[in-house]
Amino acid sequence: MGGAALEGRISYPPSIVSYPLILDPSLSAQGKGGGFIALVTGFVGICAWTLWGAVREAQDNAKRSKDVRTRLASKPILFSQHASCRMDCR
């Protein structure tokens, strides 16, 4: 029972059987600027990713700076005799 025996009995509409499948060239992205759009989209994506990283790094640095300022503010300010003398001279 090969496929050739059933081929005559089954009737398909011509739209399903038409081979090879030929696509309409007007639907193709080729020649329509698809490469340029992909390039611009990639560039915008890289810029957004870089900006996101810079903002995140700035937020992390601000948090670390706040922690350092808090730790330094909790310590008493002590000046050596040399430091006091230099401040008086200015």
Q: Is the omega angle on the peptide bond into residue 20 within 30 degrees of 0, that is, cis?
A: yes
pLDDT at 21: 55
Where do the structural domains in the chain lie, given as residue ranges? 33-90
CA distances 33 to 2, 47, 87, Å, are 48, 21, 68
pLDDT at 47: 96
Q: How confident is the model at residue 80 (pLDDT cuts 50, 70, 90)?
A: confident
Q: Is 31 left (phi over 0), alpha (psi -120 to 50) or beta?
A: left
Report the SS3 class of residue 79: coil
Per-residue pLDDT tens digits for 8-57: 566 655 555 555 555 555 555 555 556 788 889 999 999 999 999 999 99
* 51-58 CB contacts, 8 Å cutoff, 24+ apart: none
